[in-house]
Amino acid sequence: MNLLDMKSANDRPNSAPEQIENSSNDDRAQYLHSVSTAIVKELWHHLDLDHLQFDDNSEPDRYCCGEETEEDVILCGAGRNCSHGELFHYTCVGLDPDDLPNNWFCSDACKNHQDIYPYCTCQQDLGNDEPMIGCSAGSRCTGQEWYHLKCITMTADSLPEGDWFCKAACKKAKRANQRGNQNQQAKPTILLILISNATTAELLLGLV
């Protein structure tokens, strides 16, 4: 009320133009808009968004060049601690597919993390020659994401067809993500159905 120079809710604002009550609808609407804008500015303080950090929930590129091609890749020995993408195409890092090192690091910084191995239950880097299987939940895996076959009593002949999850929670996480994506894709369709139904209703009413 102080903003409008009013002593009570029943008082007429002293800042109101003369004869506003008898003016046109457009003039009254314009005055009402100016009053509501002033109230909102008074109550709703402006936030400086320049200093806020936003997370778009996008996953960083896991490949050296940022492109997921069909070319074979090599895993940096630092694993998740790799600061340059973790997975690298042979051609991007100049490696000969027929002469691959047993344990390769993309940089000296990553080499310093060689004692920190985040994958598998053994948490030991057994080299590139030791076959591994990845949890189909990917970055949403609640376990170690990648596992040596021998550490989970699995062989190359017993690999599952389709998705494989190391934990039931990982399977739920992926399903939840898929449902979220499906819901986002379904919104335009639902909107079109509502519009179509509304149009049909108008046509029916016009025929009555």
Which homologous superfamily does the CATH classification assign to the domain defined by 117-175?
Answer: Zinc/RING finger domain, C3HC4 (zinc finger) (3.30.40.10)
Q: What is the mean pLDDT of residues 23-30?
A: 78
155-205 pLDDT, tens per residue? 888 888 889 998 888 888 777 777 656 555 544 433 333 434 444 444 444
Count Cβ neighbours within 10 Å for each residue of 99-117 and write b for 16 or more, e otherwise: eeeeebbbeeebeebeeeb
Q: What is the CA 183 to chain-centroid distance, rounded?
A: 14
- Answer whether residue 79 shows pLDDT above 80: no
Strand extents, DSSP E, 95-145: 132-134
User: Which two tokens mark 139?
Assistant: 């970055």
pLDDT at 156: 87
Q: Flag whether the pTM goes above 0.85.
A: no
CA-CA distance, 179 to 177, in Å (whole number)? 5
- Would strands 73-75 and 87-89 be described as parallel, antiparallel, or unpaired? antiparallel
CATH of 58-113, one of 3.40.50.1100, 3.30.40.10, 3.90.110.10, 3.10.20.740: 3.30.40.10
Number of H helices, E strands in the chain: 4, 4
pLDDT band at 104 (very low <50, low <70, confident <90, very high): confident
| CA-closest candidate to residue 104, choices 133, 135, 128, 130 | 128
| CA-closest candidate to residue 31, choices 9, 4, 1, 11 | 4
Question: Could you tell me the end-to-end alpha-carbon distance of the chain, in angstroms, rounded to an integer?
Answer: 51
- Measured CA to CA in angstroms, residue 14 lies from 38, 112, 129 at distances of 15, 73, 84
Contact 131, 156 (CB under 8 A): yes
CA-CA distance, 11 to 13, in Å (whole number)? 6
- Answer whether residue 57 shows pLDDT above 70: no
Strand extents, DSSP E, the chain: 73-75, 87-89, 132-134, 146-148
pLDDT band at 132 (very low <50, low <70, confident <90, very high): very high
Which residues have CB under 8 Å from 145's CB, separation 6+?
Answer: 80, 118, 119, 134, 135, 137, 138, 139, 166
Q: How many alpha carbons fall within 13 Å on the CB side of residue 35? A: 19
